[in-house]
């Protein structure tokens, strides 16, 4: 069979998983690392279904491992002069894994025990970005665990109690470096089902973002094992030990491998045909906030702890019901003769969601992920180019020069309800994620406008004294159009339209193996 592959940058993988290990980086000799932690991480990447209920871990039946045991059993300083020196070895391991085994997803359940600074993009995150860009890979990094003495009380069952608890808590609980990396996927931990804690709520130990004064971190969350409050209680998440025995695990270290496994599964299912921006966009686009965090009063806390939500299984990313369709655009926004090029994709709104008078209904969601030039010298303004997506509808009244006029009808995910009024720059940064390389937009329409002619646009903005890069900015945009009632034949109608138009539209093909 063809299995996905994940690079495990950790403390080594023990013998029980040797059959899944395709290669090993040999910086440390076998006597210089202790495989306890790395084996627990690798077990959740490769064979999590052997030790957990199907509702806890991503579906699948195996994942190959490239083992990079870089975390020593002796003090860190005996092998590395600092975290930057450690990242130099990470680069060598990534280069070998990518070159010899085609690894594109690397799990990094290791942090520098240092809080992300609000106004400074760390040299650690910048170095991780450089490695990711150089080799075309994605790091899946944990956001870090709070020290036991600083752990929070279990998440309250009532939203009002939750708000009061965090209003009175003085500890910042900030995520650790280098999890602010914008090229990486940062993962927080939530409680698994069937424990004494609220299912889907942030664990007592997971840190919260964004750390920086801009953006969203963590990107996503996964089950990380609930904090144990009574002797012998289960964490709800299990892996294997160095002898191959089942053991309970707890920590953001064990949430990250579940996300890495999902990303690797998506990469394998699409035969490596998606750019890294498209892989990240697919992951975020199909993430859903746990039900516990969907209350309106918890919106701010949900963003800090869970980012865009919990990733969906790969099969749900690649297959859809007839009531919705998802279009993926992966390209590079280039520079024109005078100003950057604008991507425009015109299309007709599904007929079943369009009234006889041209008014349109339904729901639209957009996820935009791009790789802008970065410069940590500018502190929190390290992102130098901003890309924005919009979904525009043709208006009955043209522009003053007689050209067709299109009006944007979709709002950024975190915008307040007054989105169509003039919005201050600070609100654009805080709620619209301006200058942040991962954005989401969502709106529900009820007989909007008077035309079925729409278009998706991706535009750019460059900071003062910065030039748009000559090589362009790679990006991926996902647009989902759906009937909230789940009845209209949206997929069939829009697919037929694309086939009869001049668009070069192809299915994202997946090799799905059927099991009895």
What is 293-345 written as a DSSP string?
Answer: G-SGGGHHHHHHHHTT-BPPPHHHHH---TTEEEEEEEEEE-B-SSSB--EEE
For residues 7 and 89, what is the distance between their CA atoms, to the nearest angstrom? 14
Q: Which residues does 489 contact at the CB level (< 8 Å), separation at least 6? A: 322, 323, 350, 352
Q: Is the pLDDT of residue 432 over 80?
A: no
Cβ atoms within 10 A of the Cβ of 217, count?
29
Question: Tens digit of pLDDT for each residue in 90-121?
Answer: 999 999 999 999 999 999 998 888 999 999 99
pLDDT value, residue 512? 46
DSSP structure class, residue 74:
S
| Minimum mean pLDDT range among 135-139, 313-317, 320-324, 462-466 | 462-466
Q: Show the beta-strand stretches assigned E in 395-465.
A: 406-408, 438-448, 453-462
Q: Which residues does 470 contact at the CB level (< 8 Å), separation at least 6? A: 335
SS3 419: coil
Q: Is the pLDDT of residue 334 over 70?
A: yes
pLDDT value, residue 47? 93
Whether this prediction's pTM lies above 0.95 is answered by: no
Question: Tens digit of pLDDT for each residue in 264-320?
Answer: 999 999 988 899 999 999 999 999 999 999 998 999 999 999 999 999 999 999 988
- By the 8 A CB rule, do 310 and 279 touch? no
For residues 332 and 343, what is the distance between their CA atoms, to the nearest angstrom? 9
Which residue in 370, 363, 367 sits closest to 440, CA to CA?
Answer: 367
Question: Tens digit of pLDDT for each residue in 361-413?
Answer: 999 999 999 999 999 999 888 999 999 999 999 998 888 888 889 999 999 88
């Amino acid at each position: 069979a063809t299995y996905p592959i994940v690079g495990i940058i950790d403390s080594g993988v023990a013998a029980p998983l040797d059959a899944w290990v395709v290669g090993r980086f040999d910086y440390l000799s076998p006597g210089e690392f202790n495989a306890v932690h790395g084996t627990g991480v690798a077990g959740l990447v490769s064979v999590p279904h052997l030790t957990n209920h199907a509702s806890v871990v991503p579906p699948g039946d195996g994942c190959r491992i490239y083992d990079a045991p870089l975390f020593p059993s002796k003090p860190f300083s005996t092998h590395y002069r600092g975290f930057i020196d450690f990242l130099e070895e990470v680069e060598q391991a990534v280069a070998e894994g990518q070159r010899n085994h085609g690894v594109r997803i690397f799990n990094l359940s290791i942090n520098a025990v240092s809080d992300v600074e609000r106004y400074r993009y760390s040299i650690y995150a910048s170095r991780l970005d450089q490695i990711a860009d150089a080799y075309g890979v994605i790091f899946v990094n944990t956001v870090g665990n709070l020290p036991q003495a600083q752990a929070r009380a279990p998440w309250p069952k009532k939203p009002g109690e939750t708000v009061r608890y965090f209003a009175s808590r003085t500890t910042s609980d900030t995520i650790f470096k280098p999890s602010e990396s914008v090229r990486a996927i940062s993962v927080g931990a939530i409680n698994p089902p069937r424990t004494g804690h609220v299912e889907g709520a942030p664990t007592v130990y997971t840190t919260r973002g964004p750390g920086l004064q801009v953006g969203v971190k963590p990107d996503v969350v996964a089950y990380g094992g609930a904090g144990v409050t009574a002797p012998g209680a289960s964490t709800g998440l299990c892996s294997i030990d160095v002898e191959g025995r089942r053991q309970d695990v707890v920590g953001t270290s064990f949430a990250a491998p579940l996300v890495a496994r999902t990303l690797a599964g998506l990469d394998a299912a699409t035969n490596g045909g998606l750019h890294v921006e498209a892989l990240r966009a697919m992951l975020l686009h199909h993430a859903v906030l746990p039900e516990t965090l969907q209350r309106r009063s918890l919106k701010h806390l949900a963003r800090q702890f869970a980012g865009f939500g919990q990733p969906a299984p790969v099969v749900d990313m690649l297959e859809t019901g007839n009531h919705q369709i998802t279009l993926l655009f992966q390209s590079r926004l280039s520079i024109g003769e005078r100003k950057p090029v604008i991507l425009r994709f015109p299309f007709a709104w599904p007929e079943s969601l369009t009234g006889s008078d041209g008014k349109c209904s339904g729901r639209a969601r957009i996820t935009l992920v791009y790789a802008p030039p970065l410069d940590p010298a500018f502190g929190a303004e390290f992102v130098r180019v901003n890309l924005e997506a919009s979904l525009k509808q043709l208006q009955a009244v043209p522009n003053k020069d007689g050209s067709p006029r299109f009006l944007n009808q979709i709002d950024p995910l975190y915008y307040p309800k007054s989105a169509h009024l003039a919005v201050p720059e600070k609100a654009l940064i805080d709620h619209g994620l301006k200058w942040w390389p991962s954005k989401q937009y969502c709106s529900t329409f009820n007989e909007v406008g008077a035309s079925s002619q729409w278009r998706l646009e991706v535009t750019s903005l460059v900071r003062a004294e910065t030039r748009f890069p000559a090589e362009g900015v790679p990006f991926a945009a996902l647009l989902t159009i759906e009937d909230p009632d789940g009845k209209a034949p949206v997929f069939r109608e829009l697919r037929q339209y694309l086939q009869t138009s001049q668009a070069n539209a192809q299915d994202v093909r997946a090799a799905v193996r059927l099991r009895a």
